[in-house]
Amino acid sequence: MDTKDKNLHAGHRERMREKVQKMGIENLPQHEILEFLLYPFIPLKDTNVIAHELIDKAGGSLNKVFNLPYSVLMSVKNMTRNAALFLSSMPQIIRLYELQKLGEKPMLDTITHSVNYFRTLLCDLNEEKMYLAIVNAKGKLVDKCEIGISNSQECTLNVKNFINRTANAGANNIFIAHNHPSGDSSPSMADYDFTRWLVSLCEIMGLKLIDHIIVSTDGYYSFNEHGDLKQYKDVYRDYIKFATAMDKFRM
């Protein structure tokens, strides 16, 4: 880059900074927002060209740029490692920001509040994860942790961690939540089977399952809201009755 081009490039960046300051970054076209964000990480290249290519790779969406794999980000000409790390870290930064806005111990006392919390926690993840949240009698969050995995074939709960975490929490009301990165929050047969089993596990342990919530970018599914938990709550009791009756016929 010769001196003339360098000065022109520097002038462009200064004009862009003034534009952001005057208009607000949210009012810029999405390629200019990305171009501006890349300035500190790519100091000597035209980030406008890089921004356009990144958005093209993300299907035309700035939001999806942040979810591009690191290797895809690095495949763009003139991309730097620092820039790729910054962009790929944006979802975690945004998630942390939104969670901190909700507070360290938010109230999960309604379906709306609990769905909002779990969508913030899980919605933009590229892989399926499952979380346990323990709340007190008023619905205030006491503890939360990642407790298992979920995929299109099955939900898998780490039972040992589940027992340890709930036994030491000082509260008996729990939520289980997991995400569907596909965007479809509808439960699979595995989700229904898992929830039925989970209700029985909670009954054995003296816990109250407030809800099992599935979240996605397009919506959510609450097993409580749809009445599934009421349907499942007597499964274990009926099993015990059946098992007791069968004892009479054992040799």
Average pLDDT value for residue range 117-136: 92
Which residues in 199-216 are b (16+ Cβ under 10 Å) and which e? bbbbbeeebebbbbbbbb
How far is it, in rounded angstroms, from Cα 64 to Cα 57?
9
pLDDT digits (tens, 9 = 90+) for 238-247: 555 554 544 5
pLDDT exceeds cutoff 80 at 4? no
Q: What does CATH list as the number for 103-242?
A: 3.40.140.10
Average pLDDT value for residue range 4-24: 81
pLDDT digits (tens, 9 = 90+) for 53-82: 999 999 999 999 999 999 999 999 999 999
- DSSP per residue, 46-91: -HHHHHHHHHHHTTS-HHHHTTS-HHHHHTSTT--HHHHHHHHHHH
Give the per-residue pLDDT at 124: 81
pLDDT digits (tens, 9 = 90+) for 192-227: 989 999 998 998 899 999 999 999 988 999 999 999
Task: Write out the two tokens for 100.
Answer: 């901190």
**Per-residue pLDDT band at 119 (split at 50, 70, 90):** very high
CATH 3.40.140.10 placement within the chain: 103-242
**pTM of the full predicted structure?**
0.81
User: Do 202 and 208 form a contact (C-beta atoms < 8 A)?
Assistant: yes
